[in-house]
Amino acid sequence: MSIVRRKTIFGTNRAPRFLRIFRRNAEASHSQGNRVKLFGSGAEFFPAMLEAFAEARHHIHAEFYIVRNDATGAAFAEALLVAASRGVDVSLIYDYIGCFDTPSSYFRRLEQGGVRCLAFNPPPFKRGIAWFDKRDHRKMAVIDGETAFTGGVNVGNEYSGFWSAAERWRDVGVRIDGPAVSDLSRLFREFWLEEKGSPSPAWFLEHAPMAGMGDAEVMIVSDGPHHTRSFIRNAFRIAMAGAGESIRIMNPYFVPGPRVVRSLLRAARRGVRVQLILPAKNDVPIVRLVSRTYYTPLLRAGIEIYERQGPVLHAKVMLIDDTWGVVGSANLDQRSFHRNFEVNTIVASHEFGRQVAEMFVEDLRGSRRIFLAEHESRGWHVRLLERVCESVSWFL
């Protein structure tokens, strides 16, 4: 396939064969007629989500890796309790390990107020001790089966922006209205039934959201440790393979492994401009050391690497040819590929792509470019530490 032809894949007339390959290898659901809104920060995402909770008519599904007992967590709990008090069926899934610091009284209060709560994989780890390493890393909320919020944003002050500017994390989320919401609702319910086995009568009262809400095609890619291959990784790689002009990636935990690296190198060799924004500082410092072991081959191939300064980067975004935007919970690391339950939203829309591209340019302004000569001049002790840390990259 020539570069000229590749440039049309992510345009208005995307190649049907490419879409079939993508959907088959990523097990992606697909729908048209969606409206998708980008939230460039948690400070935009949370008020919109809580407002939607206040307008819920019959049910709310919420699933978050982390729910903190702080100001953001209090506002989140209050919104769920108020909805439950007026008869809305409210269900919450949270990851036990992710919420390890959240007191059990937080969830007891929710349950006493009518919110059904489900902890994923609590002790004694019913699937065995190896399951201790698995996480429900998804972040999403579905309201009445018609509106959904998803992305990389957890429930906590650092994500919502309730803290001072210096302590806010850089994150991204989306709101979806339209038929794609049914796919997220189905994903939540299947997981709930698998873990708890108790459906709610309210689930059967809704009407499927209508198409025609907007012009966006949306694909939902979900993954989990129960799969024999990584659909999340396949989705990243196939999208990279379809790029004809540009690949822009923003990701906080960059431990991609050789297959994703090869996909990036192939794109660069065929003339695609590849730009990566990675964190200058990381909440898991060992990840930054391991990430830097991948820099040399990427930089030699002409791939642009930037390290974002300022607040901790937590946004997980990829943009292909300024038309396909990927926003979700998955990192470019082995944990997201193989050991976490994840969900990514892929949006095919020129307008949405424009919004993501503008956001990316703004983030570049707050980032410092890394050059090959500078990277290779780092001391031997740093190189040694990187290699030592690389040996545990599978567990990151």
* Cα distances (Å, whole numbers) of residue 3 to 6, 242, 268: 5, 10, 12
Q: What is the DSSP letter of 280?
A: S
Instruction: Say how far apart CA 161 and CA 165 lie, in whole Å.
Output: 7
The conformation of residue 44, written as its DSSP 8-state character, comes to H
Can you tell me whether residue 328 is helix, strand or coil?
A: strand
**Measured distance CA(271)–CA(260) in Å, rounded:** 17
Judging by beta carbons within 10 Å of its beta carbon (0-12, 13-18, 19+), is residue 140 exposed, middle or buried? buried
Please give the Cα distance from 61 to 207 (Å, whole number): 15
N residues, the chain: 396
Active site residue 139: yes
Residue tagged active-site, from 139, 171, 223, 322: 139
Q: Is 95 one of the annotated active-site residues of the chain?
A: no
Residue 6, CA distances (Å) to 3, 231, 233, 365 in order? 5, 22, 21, 29
Q: Which of 89, 316, 333, 338 is catalytic?
A: 316
Distance, in Å, from the CA atom of 49 to the CA atom of 55, rounded to the nearest integer, reads 10
Among 283, 68, 47, smallest CA distance to 155 is for 68
State the Cα–Cα distance between residues 368 and 306, nearest whole angstrom: 5
Contact 19, 235 (CB under 8 A): no
Q: Is 70 helix (H, G, I), strand (E, B) or coil?
A: coil
312 DSSP assignment: P
**Per annotation, catalytic residue among 223, 314, 322, 338:** 314
338 catalytic per annotation: no
Distances from the Cα of 149 to the Cαs of 75, 78, 84, 92, 264, in angstroms? 16, 18, 19, 14, 29
Catalytic residue at 61? no
**Whole-angstrom distance between the N-terminal and C-terminal Cα of the chain?**
36
> Which is the catalytic residue, given 321, 322, 333, 363?
321
- Exposure class string for 349-376: b at 16+ Cβ within 10 A, else e: beebbebbbebbeebbeebeebeeeeee
Residue 82's contacts (CB-CB under 8 Å, 6 or more residues apart) are 53, 54
Residues forming a β-bridge with 348: 217, 324
Catalytic residues: 137, 139, 144, 314, 316, 321
